[in-house]
Amino acid sequence: MPRSAICRALGVLAVALLFAACSSSNNNAGKGSNAGGAATKAAAGGSPVAGGNTAPGGSGKTIIIARQTDLSTLDPENSFCDTCQIYLSAVYQTLVTLKPGSLTEAVGEIARSWDISPDLTTFTFHLDPAAKFANGDPLTSADVKFSLQRLKNLKAGPAFFMDGVKTIDGVDPQTVKFTLEGPDSAFLMKLMAPYSVIVDAKVVQANGGTDAEGADKNDKAKDYLDAHSAGSGPYVLQSWTRNTEVRLTANPNYWGPPPNPQAQTVVIKDVKDAATQRQLLERGDIDVAMNITHDVATQMQKDKDVSVQFVRSYDFLYLEANEKADPRLTKEVRQAIAAAIDYPGLIQATVGGHGIQPSTTIPQGFLGTDLVPPVKTDKAAAKSLLAKGGQPNGFSIKLAYPNQVLYGVDMNVLAQKVAADLAAIGITATLSPLEIGPWGGDYSGGSLPLTLAYWAPDYPDTSEYVSWFGLVGTPGTPSEWLGNVVNDQIVALNKQAAAAADNTQRAQIYKQVIQQMQDASYDIPLVQPDLVLANRSNIQNNVYSPCCNLLLGQLVKQ
C-alpha cells in the first residue's frame, strides 16, 4: 500500500482532532444563556427557574465551586449529607443561626427575637415581619410549624432533630412556640442545623407535601423539591443535574439578613478527584475547591493566584474498642491503647501536622473540651496498664476501618500508624479495610472489636456528642452495641447540662462528662484534621461554618 495513502488518512484524522481542540470557542460557551435567568430544563425533569434576572446586590458574576458532592435529594426534610448543608443554608433559612466567630451564641435569621422559659421547656420565636420566600410569599409561623413537623413526621435521616419536641404552635402569624417534653439547653443549637430550615408550606403542600402523622408514607413532595426550591435564602435552585452540578441563581426577593447574595450564579460542580480539583483551581476554571487534601494544599501554597488556608474543623477520627465484641478489651486495656498512640506522630503522618488531638470524642473547641487536656502518649504506662488488664504479653486483634479518604485523611495511612503504635506495646493489629456499606453495618451491629471511625457535627453543641458517645443508654448508639453500657454518672450530668441555661455552668458539667469518657476509653479520639480552604485569590469570605460547612451567601468574587 502506498505510504502516501496511509499518510493521507492519518493526516485527515490529525487535522480533525486539531480542529476540535483548537476551535475558537471560548470557555464561556453558554454563559449568555445564564445571564437572563433563562429557563433551563433540569435533567431531573424540572421546570423553569424560580428566580428572576438580577438579585439585590447580585453582581452578575458566577462563582464555581468544585466538590465531591454526596447529594441524594434536595428535599430539606429528607436530606442528610455534607453537601446538603451547603445547599440548604444557601437556599433556605433557619430561625436562628450561629453568630460568626462563636460556637455558642445564636443570632436571629428568620426570628428577630426569642423567649426561653426558665425551665428550658418552652421556646417562643418572634419572626421578622419582613421575612418572605423567594416567590414573594410572606414567611409566617404556619411555615415554621409545617416545616419542622414535616421534618419530624417524615422520619428520615434528620428527623432526630425534632426528638423531644412535644408541640409546635403558631400563636400568631409572627409568633411560633415550641413546647418540649423536657428541658433542653441545646434546642437553639439544633434549630441552627441546616436540616431545620423553613420551607414555603403552601408551595410544598401544593406539590404533594404533608406534615401530618403518616407523612413518611403519604408525602409526595420530594420530586418537586429535587427540581425546585421553596425557600427564603439568598439563592434559589435553578437546576440540579445529579453527579454533575447544582446551579443556583440569586434570589431576586431576598429580604435579609445581610449580606445580599454577592453573585448572580453559584455552581457547585461534582469533581471527585482532589488532583483534578487542584488543576481546575490553578487554571482558573473554578473559584473554590473543597476537597483538596493536606499534602496537595502544601504544594499549592506557592501559587500566587491561589489562596490556601488551613483552618480548624470540627470533624474528627477515632478508634473504638468494643469489649462486648472482644472481652480482652477491658477498661485497663482500652486505656493502654489510648496511652500507646503517638498522637503527634499520627497527626504528622496523616495530615502533615495540620490538625489537633481532641481530649475526647467531642470536637475540640466545643463547650467543655478546653477544660480537659488530651490523653498523653506514654508507652511505659501503656504496657503497665496492659499487664494490669490481664494481657501482659499483648495479643492479636483485627483493626477494621472504612477504606476511604475521610476529612482529608487516608484511612489506610491512619490504620497503619495506629497498628505500628500498638505493635510497640505488644498488640498486633491486623488491618481489615472494608467498603463503607459493609463497615457501617458491622460497626453499628457491634461486631467489630477494634475499629477506626469518624464523626462530623450535626449541630454545633457538645450535647450531641454526649448523647451519642456518652454511654447514656440511648438505643441505637454506641451505648447499646458496646454491650448496653450505661454510665449513670454521665446520665445524671447530661440531665443537669440539659437543664442548665448558663454556658459556663454547662461547660463545667461537660468537663466532668469528658473526664468520665476519657476514663472509660471506649472511644479514643485520634485526630481532628484542619480543613483546607482553597480558592482563587479574588474570592473572599471562603470560611468554614461549624453549622453549615460553607456559607454561599457570603462568598464574594472580586
Partner 1 sequence: MAIYITRRLLLLPVLLVGLSLITFVVSHKIPGNPLVAQLGLRGASNPQTVRTYRKKWGLDRSLPEQYVAYVGNLLHGDFGRSLVSQRPVSEDLKQYMPATIELAVASLIVAAVPGLLLGIWAAVRANTVTDSAIRLIALLGSSLPVFWLGLIVLFLLYGRLGWLPGPGRLSPYATPPPQVTGLYTVDSLLAGKPELFWDALKHLVLPAFVLGWSTMGVITRMSRSSLLDVLKTDYVRTARAKGLTPLTVLRRHAVRNAIVPTLTVTSLAFGGLLAGAVLTEVVFSWPGIGQYAVQSADNLDVPGVMGVTLVAGLLYVLVNLLADILYALFDPRIRYA
> Which residues, at least 6 apart from 427, have a Cβ–Cβ distance to it below 8 Å?
337, 340, 386, 391, 394, 395, 396, 397
Q: Nearest distance from residue 37's CB to partner 1, in Å?
A: 11
The conformation of residue 301, written as its DSSP 8-state character, comes to T
Closest approach, Cβ 158 to partner 1, in A, equals 8
- For residue 378, the Cα-to-chain-centroid distance in whole angstroms is 33
- Within residues 18-77, the interface with partner 1 by CB under 8 A covers 20-23, 25-31, 33-34, 40-41, 43-45, 62, 64, 72-73
E strand or H helix at 124: strand 122-127
If binding is defined by CB under 8 A, does position 373 make contact with partner 1?
no
> Which of 216, 295, 370, 519 lies at the binding interface for partner 1 (CB under 8 A)?
216
Task: Tell me which stretch binds partner 1 (CB under 8 A): 329-337, 411-419, 470-478, 522-530.
Answer: 470-478
Q: How far is the CB of 270 from partner 1 (least distance, A)?
A: 7
**Range 272-311, binding partner 1 (CB under 8 A):** 272-273, 275-276, 279-280, 282-283, 285-286
Minimum distance from residue 127 beta carbon to partner 1 (Å) = 30
The piece of 135-143, 180-188, 262-270, 352-360 that touches partner 1 (CB under 8 A) is 262-270
Site for partner 1 in 421-450 (CB under 8 A): 435-445
Q: Does 247 bind partner 1 (CB under 8 A)?
A: yes
Q: Indicate whether 383 belongs to the interface with partner 1 (CB under 8 A).
A: no
DSSP state of 456: -
Question: What x/- string results for residues 223 through 242 when contact with partner 1 is judged by CB under 8 A?
Answer: x--x--------------xx
Nearer to partner 1, 282 or 378 (CB): 282
Q: Return the SS3 of 155.
A: coil
CA neighbor of 385 nearest in space, from 346, 351, 342, 335: 335
CB of 152 to partner 1, least distance (A): 11
Residue with C-alpha cell 451505648?
Answer: 479
Nearer to partner 1, 478 or 553 (CB): 478
Q: Cα(first)–Cα(last) distance of the chain, in Å?
A: 61
Put the strands of the sheet holding 450-455 in their side by side order.
Answer: 355-356, 523-529, 316-321, 450-455, 395-402, 427-434
Name the residue among 354, 262, 257 with its Cα closest to residue 308.
354
C-alpha cell at 314: 470540627
Nearest distance from C-beta of residue 208 to partner 1, angstroms = 14
Report the residue count for the chain. Answer: 558
Comparison of 9 and 311: residue with beta carbon closer to partner 1:
9
- Residues in contact with partner 1, counted by CB under 8 A, come to a total of 82
Find out whether 454 and 319 touch, Cβ atoms under 8 Å: no
- Distance in angstroms (rounded) separating the CA atoms of residues 57 and 74: 26
What residues between 501 and 540 interact with partner 1 by CB under 8 A?
none
Which residue's CB is nearer to partner 1, number 159 or number 490?
159
CA angle 314, 319, 320 (to 5 degrees): 115
Q: What's 138's DSSP letter?
A: B
